[in-house]
Amino acid sequence: MALTATIYTFDIDLAHADRGVYERLALRVARHPSESEDYLVTRVLAYCLEHTEGIAFSTGGLSDPDEPALAIRDLTGALRAWIEIGAPDAARMHKAGKAAARVAVYTHKDPAKLLAQWEGERMHRVPELYRIDRALLDALVARLARRMTFALSVTGGHLYLTLGDTVLDGAVERLN
């Protein structure tokens, strides 16, 4: 019998001062059985950091190799941005670069290993690579629940996540 996805509900007050985005997000996120908690948390934070009109989680989930983890589409349905999480291989990034004008990767893994993996590989468009502070991810994973409400403020490339009386903080850094 196949395992089914677990649904997580996130109510997020987003204040992204760097981009001028102030929204209240109500997200229902399906966690694939093979998806790690840090991947899920990174995916939700990347959604917040990239939030704009037309952003959506992959419809096929992690099991669909033809879809990005996050996609930004225009009103016609054309793909504007392909956003990956983790450590995608160079062939996937090559495909992404041909499909979208902008490609970004948010990693919760060691970015040096990812860059070494991409070294010398053919890619249509070099992706923007972002690293989210590992301590922030670990602290959020330790508090992960199926229903969560928090405030996320982003200013100067720094994230401040308020969960009840607890404030977690860490940087998001563009590496290339």
pTM tops 0.85, yes or no: yes
Domains of the chain (ranges plus CATH)?
6-174 (3.10.640.10)
pLDDT of residue 65: 73
pLDDT tens string 90-132: 999 999 999 999 999 999 999 999 999 998 888 888 899 999 9
**Alpha-carbon gap, residue 123 to 91, rounded angstroms:** 7
**Alpha-carbon gap, residue 132 to 106, rounded angstroms:** 7
Task: State the DSSP code for 123.
Answer: -
The two three-digit tokens of residue 104, written as one number: 């970004």
H-state helical runs in 78-145: 90-99, 111-118, 134-142
Task: State the DSSP code for 119.
Answer: T
- Sign of the alpha-carbon torsion through 102, 58, 107, 149: positive
Percent of the chain scored above 90 by pLDDT?
A: 82
Q: Which residue has the tokens 């969560």?
A: 148
Q: What are phi and psi of 145, to 5 degrees?
A: -140, 160
How would you write the pLDDT of the chain (176 residues) with one tens digit per residue?
567 889 999 999 999 999 999 999 999 999 988 899 999 999 999 999 999 999 999 876 666 778 999 999 999 999 999 999 999 999 999 999 999 999 999 999 999 999 999 988 888 888 999 999 999 999 999 999 999 999 999 999 999 999 999 999 999 999 97
**Alpha-carbon gap, residue 69 to 59, rounded angstroms:** 9
